Amino acid sequence: MVDINPDFGPEEIRSYLKVTGWSPVSGGDVAELWNLPGPAEEVVLVPMKTGAPDFAKRTRILLGDLARVESQEVQTVHDAIATIYHDVTDLRASHPSLSDGSIPLHSGYELFVSAKRLRVASAAATIRRQGHFRNFPTRARDQAKEVRLGQTRRGSYIVPIISQARSSEDVYSPRQDHIDVQVEETLFDRRVTATMSRALGVLEDMASAEREPTPSEISDSIREGVSYELCQALAKVVSTDSVGALEVSFNWSRVAAPPPGTPPRVEFNSDAIDIVDRVSEQLKTKIYTSEHVIYGVVTDLSRHPQDESGRVGVQTVIKRRSRTVWMDLPDSDYHAAVRCHDDGIPVRARGKLTSPPGGQARMSVIGFGPDPSLGSDY
46-103 confidence digits (pLDDT tens): 999 998 999 999 999 999 999 999 999 999 999 999 999 999 999 998 876 666 777 8
Nearest to 18 by CA among 86, 88, 84: 84
303/376 Cα distance (integer angstroms): 29
**97 vs 121, higher pLDDT:** 121
Q: What is the pLDDT of residue 290?
A: 72
Arithmetic mean of pLDDT, 170-198: 88
Nearest to 172 by CA among 316, 351, 48: 316
- Decide if pLDDT at 17 tops 90: yes
> What stretch of H or E contains 129?
strand 128-129
Measure the CA angle with vertex 60, ends 57 and 61; round to 5°: 90
139/61 Cα distance (integer angstroms): 42
Q: What is the pLDDT of residue 278?
A: 93
Alpha helices in the chain (DSSP H): 10-19, 55-70, 74-82, 105-127, 138-146, 181-208, 215-223, 228-238, 270-283, 331-343
Nearest to 199 by CA among 296, 93, 291, 119: 119
pLDDT band at 312 (very low <50, low <70, confident <90, very high): very high
Alpha-carbon separation of residue 287 from 124, 130, 133, 198, 319 (angstroms) = 13, 6, 6, 21, 22
161/90 Cα distance (integer angstroms): 6
30/83 Cα distance (integer angstroms): 24
The pTM assigned to this predicted structure is 0.88
173/159 Cα distance (integer angstroms): 36
361/353 Cα distance (integer angstroms): 7
> What stretch of H or E contains 354?
strand 347-354
Q: pLDDT tens for residues 245-274?
A: 999 999 999 888 899 989 999 999 999 999
- Decide if pLDDT at 120 tops 90: yes
Alpha-carbon separation of residue 118 from 199, 230, 232, 233, 323 (angstroms) = 10, 6, 9, 6, 28
